[in-house]
A and B are shown apart, each in its own frame.
Chain A
């Protein structure tokens, strides 16, 4: 190694890597959970990698390659949790739990899992004007969103994305609520709201930049009134509340919707957003997708009462809706948004749904949950449910499904091509946008960085 070292260092200096020559390798595997590469897959260390890769800055790429694409198989031992019973079995335990049998009838549902339309005097008016075409549109949204999500998952598996947070199973909650919003409403998502983004007209390829590691956001929130994804759990609920307070101050009639998970409901920020929105009567809808899990922790580890009931303590209504029923999600969210617009204040909507996949591509759910549970939820699939309804009501023909299939494939191809074509950012992007007004220290460091980069080019020139 040592002889190589000297040679390589000279080569590095003389080969003159240009700034910006990162490899095209994926950004590595790390993410929310189980992040990080397995050591066995890593290069044997920085120095070694550089020594052997001899061509200047491309050694940096070599180094990137060393940490790339090595999603850790998360299970180190022990496989499945043996003792865990399906969650439904806990209902009889006689102590408060997030989901008790008694609460089930509180679940707003307009479509049964079999696709039968259930009457609901309170919420039917909010979907009464839907035409068969609208229903097909909701179906199309869910299918395309699922297709996009599946494509992103496989792009992660192929090393094109560093991480992906799948929405599989949550399509109805997202499309139903997303379609309830108006263009002048403002949406504050977490990191899994790909279906809501779709409804807001955000190009799905924009969502992939941060998961590929080329940016930390990647779109202009104001172009679709769809805020950047927020990774620090719960933070955005306060931003949503403040934005809604602003709307109220302006006398506008728009509303805000904030998305978060059941796990997030434990954060102080979420409690504080409930307090502020209630006290200031802010036009905000809190849309909690209770997908039953916060990484490995079931909802019972976050709350001892059904989440929607929390709202009462803050002085505003809470509703639990069947999160796999797109019509119910649409109706309830519309109701809540209209309330907000009328100046009647916040609402908490708890969409009772299920995360069918892993928390993220770095997660291994077999360590903490039983497959039976997932299988049981499969029977409540939001897409199959609407399809059954459309078919039974004669709202579609086979041509519709076939065309949609083609459209899905085309979307998949477009996303794949767009991701592969996504350029790595220029190295100087590190210094961009640190301050709106500029900053002398940043300027100084940028100049140092430039000189340092140039020293490689000089070495090459002098070769």
Chain B
């Protein structure tokens, strides 16, 4: 592949480029949402797309999330491939009914005759000092629903490629974008696909403990691994990339090597995706495990006001602490 196709860009820009590529490649692809047109979205993820593809392809919608997803379903029934933006995580709930009761179930109800290739983009997670409803991590609420695929990239290359793959998927995909990482830059090779949409990836090899994360927490886990290395500990970091389906094989392979597992996510721990991982890995790796699977995440409390979020969110100290506890068994 040519060097020109490798470019350093921020995650937000990578998604923008990916949407641009999809709009160019397929006239049936549409981008829809509040403020996505002229403004380019409040995070500028759709910046410039309406200018280049017009108001028929990049649609500023009324301020109505149920309407956005509901009409996207209708457009998909008509053969379009809408990529809709929900402005912030906490505003997806007016659309939750459409997503859960309609988007997720149409394929099954039509005995496979109706496909709904709709991508719902949701900037999610905390750490940006926002007011309430702007920092939530509701991924488990979607992953629990059969019929939906749920993914979250952690770096620019995945942001680019996973968006391409999500748009090409014939299933509805809930695409969680780690908003606090939007401006993190990374290399993107726009010519070669790094791998399938739902495969987890080892982003750092290690032997003592496996850290599993996705989205915004991958970067933190890499920092934790750096810090732990200074204490002579070798941590393996796995980026799940996809929450549903979840690549348990990759997690299992890593755990069979390290024999210890800590799952890190921002969402509340109780009934979160970490709970599912802990249960499955315990089933699959019972005789390999040297310690119970530990989880680091949010508390069973409403997401706190900005001045408390540093205490609420998993941070270096809390993950290191869990690593210590795992190794203490």
Contacts and interface: CB of A to CB of B under 8 A. Distances in A.
Interface in A249-280: 263-264, 266-269
Interface in B203-229: 219-220, 223-224, 226-227, 229
A162 B133 contact: no
Interface of B: 10, 34-35, 37-40, 42-44, 47-48, 51, 60-67, 88, 90-91, 93-94, 127-134, 179-180, 182-185, 219-220, 223-224, 226-227, 229-231, 270, 299-302, 304-308, 310-312, 315-318, 320-321
Given A264-B63, A268-B94, A431-B299, 5 more contacts: A60-B310, A232-B90, A295-B39, A296-B60, A297-B62
B328 to A, nearest CB: 13
Contacts, number: 225
Contact of B301 (A3, A294, A296, A434): A434
A239 to B, nearest CB: 15
B301 A77 contact: no
Given A47-B223, A427-B308, A367 B43 contact: no
Contact of B183 (A36, A215, A301, A302): A36
A36 B182 contact: yes
B131 A34 contact: no
B321 to A, nearest CB: 7
B42 A33 contact: yes
For A12, A211, A266, the residue with the greatest tally of chain B CB atoms inside 10 Å of its CB is: A266
Contacts of A60: 310-311, 315
Given A32-B42, A424-B307, A268 B219 contact: no
Nearest to A303: B62
Nearest to A442: B300
Contact of B64 (A3, A33, A211, A266): A266
Interface string A196-229: 0000000000000111111110000000000000
Interface in A106-135: none
B191 to A, nearest CB: 25
5 closest cross-chain pairs (CB), A and B? A28-B129, A213-B306, A39-B183, A27-B306, A47-B223
A411 interface: no
Contact of A50 (B48, B134, B307, B316): B316
A234 B133 CA distance: 14
A316 interface: no
Contact of B179 (A36, A78, A263): A36
Nearest to A6: B230
B107 to A, nearest CB: 25
Contacts of A6: 227, 230-231
B307 A445 contact: no
B128 A30 contact: yes
A60 B315 CA distance: 9
Contacts of A427: 308, 311
A38 interface: yes
B305 A425 contact: yes
Contact of B34 (A5, A297, A362): A297
Nearest to A297: B60
Given A6-B230, A232-B133, A268-B94, A36 B307 contact: no
Interface of A: 1-3, 5-6, 9, 12, 22, 26-39, 42, 45-47, 50-51, 60, 63-64, 67-68, 74, 76-78, 81, 162-163, 209-216, 231-234, 263-264, 266-269, 294-297, 301-302, 362-363, 367-368, 424-425, 427, 429-431, 434, 439, 441-442, 445, 449, 452, 455
Contacts of B320: 9
A216 B134 CA distance: 12
A34 B179 CA distance: 11
A5 B227 contact: yes
Contacts of A27: 129, 305-307
Given A9-B227, A39-B10, A216 B130 contact: no
Given A34-B43, A45-B223, A295-B39, A3 B310 contact: no
Contacts of B38: 81, 296-297, 367-368
Contacts of B310: 22, 60, 63-64
Contact of A429 (B67, B131, B227, B304): B304
B307 A301 contact: no
Given A266-B62, A267-B63, A67 B226 contact: no
Contacts of B304: 216, 425, 429-430
A81 B38 CA distance: 8
B204 to A, nearest CB: 13
Contact of A431 (B94, B301, B321): B301
B177 to A, nearest CB: 12
Contact of A210 (B60, B66, B91, B132): B132
Nearest to B182: A36
B305 A213 contact: yes
Given A295-B39, A296-B38, A452 B321 contact: yes
B128 A76 contact: no
A29 B220 CA distance: 21
A33 B91 CA distance: 13
Contacts of B308: 22, 424-425, 427, 429-430
Contacts of B93: 232
B34 A35 contact: no
Nearest to B231: A6
Nearest to A296: B39
Contacts of A63: 310, 315
B299 A449 contact: yes
A216 B231 CA distance: 40
B132 A47 contact: no
Contact of A162 (B48, B65, B129, B227): B129
Given A30-B130, A267-B63, A35 B316 contact: no
Contact of A35 (B48, B61, B91, B179): B179
B94 A211 contact: no
Nearest to A363: B42
A3 B93 CA distance: 46
Contacts of A214: 305, 307
Contacts of A441: 270, 300
